[in-house]
Amino acid sequence: MEKWLETARRYDADDQLSKYRDEFYIGENLYYMDGNSLGLMSRRAEASVLDVMDDWKTLGIDGWTEGERPWFYMSERIGELMAGLIGADPVSVLATNSTTVNIHQTVRTLYQPTEDRYKILVDELNFPSDIYAVQAVLDDYGHGDGLLKAKSRDGHNLETEDIIALMDESVALILLPAVLYRSGQILDMERLTRAAHEKGIIIGFDLCHSIGAIPHELKDWGVDFAVWCTYKHLNGGPGSVAGLYVHPKHHHKQVSLRGWFGNNKESQFDMDHTFDPAADISQYQIGTPHILSMAPLLGALEIFNEAGIADVREKSLKLTGFMLEMLDAEFEKYGFEIVTPRPADARGGHVLIGHENAAGINAALKSRGVIPDFRAPSFVRIAPVALYNSFEDVYHALKILKEIMDDGTYKKFGNRRGVVA
């Protein structure tokens, strides 16, 4: 194993992003590999929360329009800060609601079923909340049987051709993940969008596991809409306000879930009972924005905009590449299955490995300071994050994994998941 340590140190010495590590709170002797579930807190995120608290303390109600960070415009302001991460014009991006609410909002607004065209195409590997929301929309529109699921051949990844083969004249809308939350596979968003549009289908992506890990060119690809959470790779803190993109060509459509914060800002306080929708993405807001849950993003996103998503992606690929190389070379005898696709353009920011004792292995790793996460039924997900993990972290995490496999300590932990796995 020694030679891997030397390689790790050489990579770290070369790492242009290593200066950001000190900006994050990382526990002593902790190898945090779970930044794709909950990103760590940075000093800048902490400071921006305290700044917003200070505005509340000193300005009271005037915090809505006064100070350096007026709350009334904070959803749009944070949208601007995220635009570069998804390749979109700032005016078509917003921070608002939660991811699940944004799925309800975008799908309800853009889904316009007819008698012949009413299906919504999803995939069988997506996160449950996305499927619940889509099914609810179908039920409410009287098309409860309209959920069409692309199947996976191996139970882990999807083939682009298989998804495209399902795009026919009966499909009204498509919602797919950009990066699969388990296997880490990246879907070919550009090709899928082109194929959907050839059939006249609206297509959107859930970027929960891709934003902050890989670059996107949503505008160039012509993607109709996207949603994402901000507490994973974007480090916005637990429950931080989600993101939303809608292509400008749809901005004239009135949103389905209406509230006074979707009203034209100029007339919002006229308090008229007729909804006067904002002419742009702001229409997708519903009620009063969750200012305190947005505040950390002001600091957290500043780091991304400074570091640049291209460099983040380059380092992330090198981190997961290093991990895969070590797994191939040193772990053959333990019976791990590596589920994540190998090609760089098909691999997001995390690696999924399968083992029949995965829950016990996950618990044993945590007891030794390595923090991955377990995904039922039998997988451990490991995410080395470019902004705060080092190559030496990856080395230590895998060295500890090897130790618990060699000495069998994982067997002591039983093989059951916790309530929050």
Ligand X SMILES: *Cc1c(COP(=O)(O)O)cnc(C)c1O
Query: In angstroms, what is the minimal distance from the CB of 127 to ligand X?
Result: 3
CB closer to ligand X out of 88 and 229: 229
Is residue 141 within 8 Å of residue 117, measured between CB atoms?
no
CB closer to ligand X out of 231 and 322: 231
* Stretch of residues binding ligand X (CB under 6 A), selected from 50-58, 96-104, 257-265, 356-364: 96-104
Query: In angstroms, what is the minimal distance from the CB of 227 to ligand X?
Result: 8
387 counts as binding ligand X under rule CB under 6 A: no
For the record, the structure tokens of 115 come out as 């008698």
CB closer to ligand X out of 129 and 170: 129
User: Which residues sit in the known binding site for pyridoxal 5'-phosphate?
Assistant: 99-100, 127-130, 206, 209, 231, 260, 288
Residue of the chain from 181, 221, 391, 410 that contacts ligand X (CB under 6 A): 181
CB closer to ligand X out of 229 and 380: 229
Which residues, 187 to 226, sit near ligand X by CB under 6 A?
206, 208-209
CA distances 344 to 15, 31, 186, 341, Å, are: 19, 24, 9, 8
Q: Which alpha helices (DSSP H) does 183-286 contain, by range?
A: 189-198, 218-221, 265-268
CB closer to ligand X out of 104 and 318: 104
Contacts with ligand X, 286-305, as mask; x by CB under 6 A? --------------------
Query: In angstroms, what is the minimal distance from the CB of 257 to ligand X?
Result: 14
Is residue 162 within 8 Å of residue 153, measured between CB atoms?
yes
For the record, the structure tokens of 13 come out as 């010495």
CB closer to ligand X out of 229 and 303: 229
340 counts as binding ligand X under rule CB under 6 A: no
| Amino acid making up residue 79 | G
Which of 63-77 are b and which e, b meaning 16 or more Cβ less than 10 Å from the residue's Cβ?
bbeebebebbbbbbb
CA distances 345 to 37, 111, 186, Å, are: 22, 31, 7
Chain length of the chain: 421
Contacts with ligand X, 138-177, as mask; x by CB under 6 A? ---------------------------------------x
CB closer to ligand X out of 72 and 127: 127
229 counts as binding ligand X under rule CB under 6 A: yes
Going across the sheet that includes 337-338, the strands are: 337-338, 351-354, 379-382, 373-375
Query: In angstroms, what is the minimal distance from the CB of 285 to ligand X?
Result: 16
For the record, the structure tokens of 65 come out as 């329009």
Q: 169: buried, middle or exposed (CB in 10 Å: 19+, 13-18, 0-12)?
A: exposed
Contacts with ligand X, 102-141, as mask; x by CB under 6 A? -------------------------x-xx-----------
Q: Give the integer Cα–Cα distance in Å for 213 and 209.
A: 7
Residue of the chain from 92, 99, 185, 320 that contacts ligand X (CB under 6 A): 99
* Strand intervals (E) in 146-305: 147-150, 171-177, 202-206, 225-228, 243-246
Query: In angstroms, what is the minimal distance from the CB of 17 to ligand X?
Result: 24
Query: In angstroms, what is the minimal distance from the CB of 73 to ligand X?
Result: 23
Is residue 89 within 8 Å of residue 219, measured between CB atoms?
yes
Which residues, 49 to 78, sit near ligand X by CB under 6 A?
none
The rounded Cα 63 to chain-centroid distance in angstroms is 30
Task: Report how many helices (DSSP H) and strands (DSSP E) the chain contains, helices first.
Answer: 13, 13
CB closer to ligand X out of 180 and 327: 180
Number of residues that bind ligand X (CB under 6 A): 13
Interface with ligand X by CB under 6 A: which residues?
98-100, 127, 129-130, 177, 181, 206, 208-209, 229, 242
